[in-house]
């Protein structure tokens, strides 16, 4: 195949066109340097070579290429860094949800700057000490004062319980109406972008800006749950392909669930109960599964941990809202049961006094709902004590006849004071299938038990905050590495401007040189003797 005399002009023209298009791409990068989610683009080029060989060949028939060909415009992305970034942001999502939940719980138990349960126990102790004196026992106002301090303590317990329930309601509502709704919207948007990108590619447009939008959504989706992203080419005609995106989620059991399959998107749904939540996945291929307990990481897992898990009380690895609810209820129930037992009038032998054959109990506390156990929200001052039918039992070492003349013995009241300072084992009943057992979570006084809840929450919050800060640092490093590949660098783009400008000038000079050569060949060759 003989090379055309004017082939060099075509080579120069292709070089000029390529340099000009490269300048256009560089300008696009520079103008979008501040655009969120923008990925640096580059012009893809390839050398044009001889397509066929001659049937006859000779040493003098040297083959030379025909210049440069523009094959398209692509994005500069590193799939490994993308996968690493989404893995890190998923872990960060878990810690962020945990820390956010603990931050909501902290004001309930943090009494460093306000009076609360700690001060109420101190005030109760003081009132009991006053009541224990002979003058105190003789004065009904001192019994009413103790009852008042007890009521204040119950109000604080109830307030803590209400605030715990408010946090639970907020977390559960936010999970269903915000987190899960946002994930469903992201999945739908990605599926719609897949359709738009495919349609654009069919028409010859790579739709790079749409791909940027999709990548930003994939990063956002990765913060909610761990995902894997796979691209594949689908042939839609002879030698014509479009890019197909598949997004999968692999649970902690190793089961793979399809979140996005081309234009089909999965959908999440929730089942919210009083003290728990479930997450149901209808995947892109039509299967439905309960994935509540198999999420490896992400905001969804972190929020479900807060809602469902109770640490040692359910054998889980995380102390969620349920742990603090059950621990507080155990404190209140133990307090009520111990003081009710202390107020039972007893004879010299320690047996309960009887009235018409029935034990006289004189409880200080009653349940609002008898069908439920004592808890922070299910306790009140006993009606008999409130209406004055009986008072705090001052002494248990007396006989019935002593009540006629009164007694100044105070050992039972002093025992109540000691009870407030005594070490007690606090437990929560845990049911495993058909069996139940008591799990001890603290040994100490009532006040110390509440302080332990405050310290435990502080430790949990600090731990999650530290982990969150570390994960943010790691994520920033990964993001910087990814930006080093995908982000627009002004210095590099400035160098590209100079480079492509020089390339354009050189190609123009090539065309001028070829023109001069042809001018010699046509106008100044073979003119001797004219």
User: pLDDT of the chain along its 530 residues, tens only?
Assistant: 456 767 888 889 999 999 999 999 999 999 999 999 999 999 999 988 766 655 555 666 667 778 898 988 999 999 999 999 999 999 999 999 999 999 999 999 887 655 688 889 999 999 999 998 888 787 889 999 999 999 999 999 999 999 999 999 999 999 999 999 999 999 999 999 999 999 998 888 888 999 999 999 999 999 999 999 999 888 877 877 888 899 999 999 999 999 999 889 999 999 999 889 999 999 998 899 999 999 999 999 999 999 999 999 998 999 999 999 999 999 999 999 999 999 998 877 778 888 887 888 899 999 999 999 999 999 999 999 999 899 998 887 543 334 433 445 788 899 999 999 999 999 999 887 778 889 999 999 999 999 999 999 999 999 999 999 999 999 999 999 999 999 999 999 999 999 999 999 999 999 999 888 888 888 877 766 55
Question: What is the rounded distance in angstroms from the CA atom of residue 290 to the CA atom of residue 281?
Answer: 6
Phi, psi of 343 (to 5 degrees): -90, 5
Among candidate residues 386, 447, 379, 446, the one with its CA nearest the CA of residue 158: 379
* CA dist., res. 332 & res. 424, Å (int): 13
**Nearest Cα to 143, choosing from 388, 307, 351?**
388
At 465, list the tokens.
Answer: 């905050």
Task: Assess contact for 88 and 475: CB atoms under 8 A.
Answer: yes
Residue 58: the pLDDT is: 61
pLDDT at 31: 94
Residue 52's pLDDT is what? 60
> How far is it, in rounded angstroms, from Cα 57 to Cα 24?
42
CA dihedral 404, 405, 411, 412 (to 10 degrees): 30
- By C-alpha distance, which of 181, 160, 171 is closest to 272? 171
First to last CA, the chain: 35
pLDDT at 398: 45
Which residues, in sequence order, are CB contacts of 363 under 8 Å at separation 6+? 340, 343, 382, 384, 385
Query: Is residue 281 a contact partner of residue 292, using CB atoms and an 8 Å limit?
Result: no
| pLDDT value for 418 | 92
Q: Residue for token digits 């005399």?
A: 5
What span, in angstroms and rounded, lies between the C-alpha atoms of 426 and 453?
12
Q: pTM score, two decimals?
A: 0.86
Q: For residues 189 and 167, give the distance between their C-alpha atoms in angstroms, rounded to a whole number.
A: 31
Number of residues that this document lists for the chain: 530
Q: Which element (helix H / strand E) includes 322?
A: helix 321-342
Angle between helices 140-174 and 321-342 (to 10 degrees): 160
Sorted by sequence, the CB contacts under 8 Å of residue 401 that are 6+ apart come out as none
Classify residue 206 as exposed, middle or buried by CB count within 10 Å of its CB (0-12, 13-18, 19+). Answer: middle
Round to whole Å and give the CA distance between 192 and 214.
Answer: 10
pLDDT at residue 332, rounded to an integer: 96
Of 324, 333, 316, 336, residue with least CA distance to 453: 324
Q: Say what the pLDDT of residue 106 is.
A: 92
């Amino acid at each position: 195949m003989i090379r055309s005399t004017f082939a060099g002009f075509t080579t120069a023209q292709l070089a000029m066109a390529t340099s000009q298009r490269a300048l256009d791409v560089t300008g696009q990068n520079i103008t979008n340097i501040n655009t969120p989610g923008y990925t640096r683009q580059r012009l893809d080029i390839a050398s044009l070579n001889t397509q066929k060989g001659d049937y006859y060949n000779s040493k003098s028939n040297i083959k030379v290429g025909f210049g440069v060909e523009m094959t398209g415009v692509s994005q500069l992305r590193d799939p490994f860094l993308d996968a690493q970034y989404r893995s890190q942001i998923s872990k960060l999502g878990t810690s962020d949800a945990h820390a956010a939940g603990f931050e909501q719980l902290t004001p309930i138990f943090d009494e460093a700057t306000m009076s609360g349960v700690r001060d109420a126990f101190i005030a109760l102790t003081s009132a009991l000490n006053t009541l224990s004196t002979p003058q105190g026992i003789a004065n009904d106002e001192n019994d009413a004062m103790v009852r008042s301090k007890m009521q204040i303590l119950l109000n604080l317990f109830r307030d803590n319980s209400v605030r715990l329930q408010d946090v639970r309601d907020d977390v559960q509502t936010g999970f269903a109406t915000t987190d899960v709704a946002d994930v469903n919207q992201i999945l739908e948007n990605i599926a719609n972008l897949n359709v738009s990108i495919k349609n654009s590619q069919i028409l010859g447009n790579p739709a790079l800006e749409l791909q940027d939008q999709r990548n930003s959504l994939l990063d956002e989706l990765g913060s909610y749950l761990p995902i894997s992203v796979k691209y594949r080419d689908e042939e839609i005609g002879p030698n014509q392909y479009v890019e197909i995106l598949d997004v999968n989620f692999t649970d902690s059991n190793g089961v793979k669930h399809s979140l996005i399959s081309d234009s089909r998107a999965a959908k999440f749904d929730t089942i919210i109960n009083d003290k728990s939540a479930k997450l149901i996945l209808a995947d892109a291929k039509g299967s439905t599964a309960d994935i509540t307990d198999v999420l490896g990481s992400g905001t969804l897992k972190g929020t479900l941990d807060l809602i469902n898990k109770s640490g040692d009380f359910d054998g889980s690895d995380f102390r969620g809202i349920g742990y603090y609810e059950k621990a507080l209820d155990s404190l209140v129930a133990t307090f009520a049961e111990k003081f009710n037992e202390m107020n039972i009038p007893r004879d010299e032998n320690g047996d309960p006094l009887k009235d018409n054959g029935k034990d006289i109990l004189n409880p200080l506390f009653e349940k609002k709902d008898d069908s439920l156990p004592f808890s922070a929200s299910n306790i009140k001052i006993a009606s008999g004590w409130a209406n004055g039918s009986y008072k705090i039992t001052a002494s248990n070492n007396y006989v019935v006849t002593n009540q006629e003349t009164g007694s100044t013995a105070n050992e039972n009241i002093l025992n109540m004071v000691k009870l407030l300072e005594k070490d007690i084992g606090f437990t929560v009943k845990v049911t495993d299938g058909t069996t139940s057992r008591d799990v001890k979570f603290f040994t100490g006084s009532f006040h110390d038990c509440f302080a332990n809840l405050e310290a435990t929450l502080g430790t949990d919050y600090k731990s999650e905050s530290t982990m969150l800060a570390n994960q943010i640092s790691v994520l920033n490093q990964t993001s910087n590495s990814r930006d080093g590949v995908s982000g627009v660098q002004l210095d590099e783009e400035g160098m590209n401007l100079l480079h492509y400008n020089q390339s354009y000038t050189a190609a123009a000079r090539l065309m001028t040189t070829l023109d001069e050569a042809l001018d010699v060949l046509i106008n100044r060759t073979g003119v001797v003797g004219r």
